[in-house]
Amino acid sequence: MITVDIEEERKEIIRRYRRLLRRAKPFLKDNDAKLIKKAFNTSLEAHKEMRRKSGEPYIYHPLAVAQICVDEIGLGTTSIVAALLHDVVEDTEIELEEIEADFGPKVAKIIDGLTKISGVFDHGSSQQAENFRKMLLTLSEDVRVILVKLADRLHNMRTLGSMPRHKQLKIISETIYLYAPLAHRLGLYAIKSELEDLWLKYTETEVYNEIASKIAESKSSRSRFIRSFLLPIQDEMNKSGLKYEVKGRPKSIHSIWNKMKKQNIPFEEVYDLFAIRITLDTDYDNEKAACWHVYSIVTDFYKPNPDRLRDWISTPKGNGYESLHTTVMSKTGKWVEVQIRTKRMDEIAEKGYAAHWKYKDGMGSSHESGLEQWIGHVREMLQQNDTSAIEFVDDFRANLFHDEVFVFTPKGDLKILPFGATALDFAFDIHTEVGAKCLGAKVNNKLVPINYELKNGDQVEILTSIKQKPNEDWLHFAVTSKAKSKIKDTLKEAKKIAAIDGKEIVKRKLKQMKIPFDGDIANQLRALFDEKTVTDFYYKVGKGLIDPAEIRRYKELKTVKTPEKTKRTERSYTDDIKKVSPSHDILLIGEDMDRVDYKLAKCCNPIPGDDVFGFVTVNEGIKVHRTTCPNAPELLSNHGNRIVKSKWMSQQQTAFLASLRIIGTDRVGLIRDVTDIISRELKVNMRSITIDTETGIFDGTIVLYINSTKHLDQLIKKLEKVNGVMKVTRFDETSEND
C-alpha cells in the first residue's frame, strides 16, 4: 500500500498552478487572473476525490493540459479556463449550465465539444466515431475546442505508461488515425511529431528504443559536425549584419522509422537524420529577401541538391507553414537539410493556427488564405452532416492531407489541393454545379479526362455539359472530402428516387400475387435477394437490376426465415464471444481470457508471439490482427467497442505462415546454404521460395511455416550470417501483393 503525503501533494498542486499563472501572465488582462483562479478552484473541488491510474491527484491532468495550451500552443485565458474544467461535466456532478453561468457561453461551448456522448448505440454504429463527430462539429464555431483537445491528448499520451495495454492500444490508434494528422493540418508540427513518436513508442517499443539510443549515441559527434558545418555560414552572416539563431536537431524518431521502412534501409543509411534551422530576426516586409540572402550564403559554401529545394515562402503550405528548405552536400559527403525562416514563421510553424491570430493585424490576409480556405471547406463539410458517424470521420480524415499540389485557374488564381487531386476535385473546388456537370478539363491547353491527376503548376480549365451527371465511378476519381460529399449527395438523391419507383413496382407485383404488403414481407424479400437493406432491394428493382418477375420466387418458398434483427447494444459483441465453441487452444481471447474460435487476419498474418488484438466482425466471428497491422488504427479508432483482448499461449507448437525477404550479393551455392539452414538446421518447412538475380544482386522471398516470433527471429539471425546475405526482413505477403 502506497502512503500518500497529502500536505506535500497540496504544495505540489499549488506549485503547478503558480507555474501556469507565471507563464500566462504576459497576456492576462483585467480580471483574467481571477477567472483562472476560479476555474482552478472549481476543478480542484470537483476532482478532489479522484486519482489517475498512476496514483497521482487528478487535478495534475487539467493543470498539465492548461500548461500545454499556454506553452506549446500559445492559447489565451478562455482556453486556459476550458482546459482546467474540460473533464468536470463528464466526470463529476457539475452540469454544463453551471459552467455557462459561472464562466460564460464560450467556455461552456468548448467544454461541451470536449464532453463525450453517453448512452447505448445501435449495432454497426460507433460511439467513438459519434464522439469524434460531436467534437469536430464545434470546429465550425470555435477552433479552440480542437486545440484544447490536442493538448489533452498530448498529455494523455505522455502519461500512457500507467494504462492497461488494451486502453493503450485504443488511445494510440485514435492518436495516429485522427489527432496526429489533425495537429499537422493545424500547423502544430512539434505536437504532431511528439504524438507520432509516442505512438511508435507504444506500438513498436523495441524499434523506438533502438532508434532513440542510436540518436543519443551520435549526439556528441553530431554536435561537432554541426559546428564545423555552420562555421563558414555564420562568419558570412555576421559580416552581413544579420540577426539570427541556429539550431541543429535530429529528425523525429517516427520520421526516421518511416524512411527506414519505406526505403527498406537500416538507421545508418538514412541520409538526412537531422536538420539545421536558421531563424532570422527581421521585420515582416524584409522577410523574403533576408531568407533568400541566407540561402545564397549557404549554397556559396555547399552544393545544393536541386531536387530538394522547397520554397514555402513564396507559396505557403495550406496550413500556413512558411519556410525555405534546401538539402546540401557537406565537405564530409553527408547530405544536410537546412531550413531558413524568420521568428514569425517559426512561431507559426511551432504553434500553428493559434499563432496566426497573433500576427493577423500586421500582415496581409493572403498569408492566412490557405488555412482559412481549409477551415471554410471543413465548415461546408460539417453542414452536409447526413452521413453515418464513421463515414463522416473517414471523410474528415481524408481531408487532413499531408502533401499538396499548387495549381492555377485560367485567370491565374492559385488553388491548393491535396496531393493526388484530380481535375474533378478542382471542378468541385470551383463550385458544386461546375463539379456536378464536369465533362473533362483543359490542362495547359491539352484535353484531359476528369480523373487526370493534377501536377504542380498546372493551369486548369474545366469543361462542362448540362447532360453530365455524377455516377458511382466518380467516387474513385475524387480525393477531396468536398468533392466526395457532393457526389454522394447527388447519388443518394438519385438512389432515393429509384428506390421509391422500386417500392411501387414491388407493391404492384405483390398485389398481383394476392400477398399483403408490409415491413416484414419487404424484409423477407430483402433477405431472399441477399441485399443489405430494404432500400438497396427497392433501388435494384427500380433500376431494373432485379427483374420484378423474380419476385414470384417468394411465393414458391414455403418458409423464409426472418433475419435476426440487427439492433443490439454494444455489450452484445462480447456476448457473441461467449457463445463461440472453443476449437483451438492457441489464443486466449476476451476479458476472462477464454479459449474461443477465431480466424487470423490475412492483412497482417499474425503468428504466436506477436502483440495482437481480436476484432468482432459482423459475419466472420473474431478475427485476430497484429497491433502493427496497417488496418489497426482504423479498427481501433472507429470500432473500440468491437475490440477484445487477445494473448498467445506460449506452449502450443502450431505452424503459421510467415514471409521473409532476402537481399544480398549473388554467388554460386547461395540458395543451397539458405535452404540448408531453413530445412536441415532449424527444420522449418517451406511453402515457396522465389529468387530474382540481376547484375550480381539477388532479391528473394521465402514463405515458410514457423511456430512463433521467437522461432522466426532465430531463423532471421541465422540467415543474416550466410555469406552474401545483406538483409533479411519479415513482410506481410498480402500487403506486398496489394
Strands of 643-648's sheet in order across? 594-595, 587-589, 643-648, 612-616, 622-626, 599-600
Rounded Cα–Cα distance for residues 66 and 50 (Å): 18
Active site residue 90: yes
Rounded Cα–Cα distance for residues 436 and 263 (Å): 40
Q: Which long-range contacts (CB under 8 A, 24 or more apart) does 304-311 make?
A: 304/328, 304/329, 305/329, 305/335, 308/337
Residue 270, Ramachandran bin (φ over 0: left; ψ between -120 and 50: alpha; else beta) = beta
Rounded Cα–Cα distance for residues 234 and 248 (Å): 14
Place of cell 463515414: 391
Strand, coil or helix: what is 414? strand
Active site residue 91: yes
Q: Are the beta carbons of 81 and 36 closer than 8 angstroms?
A: yes
**Alpha helices (H) in 86-143, listed in sequence order:** 88-91, 96-103, 105-114, 127-137
Rounded Cα–Cα distance for residues 33 and 21 (Å): 8
Place of cell 539471425: 717
Running DSSP on this structure, what letter comes out for residue 619? Answer: S
CA distance to 46, 97, 149, 205, 330, per residue, from 87 (Å) = 10, 15, 11, 30, 51
Q: Using alpha carbons, select from 115, 65, 123 the residue that is nearest to residue 94.
A: 115
CA distance to 116, 130, 616, 638, 641, per residue, from 569 (Å) = 18, 15, 14, 16, 10
Other beta carbons less than 10 A from residue 298's beta carbon: 23
Q: Using alpha carbons, select from 267, 271, 268, 275 the residue that is nearest to residue 229.
A: 275
Q: What is the DSSP string of 685-738?
A: EEEEEEEEEETTEEEEEEEEEES-HHHHHHHHHHHHTSTTEEEEEEE-HHHHH-
Q: Pick the catalytic residue: 45, 90, 122, 300?
A: 90
Parallel, antiparallel, or unpaired: how do β-strands 274-280 and 335-342 relate? parallel
Amino acid at 27: F
Q: Pick the catalytic residue: 9, 56, 91, 501?
A: 91
Amino acid at 447: L
Q: Are the beta carbons of 573 and 623 closer than 8 angstroms?
A: no
The residues assigned a catalytic role are: 90-91
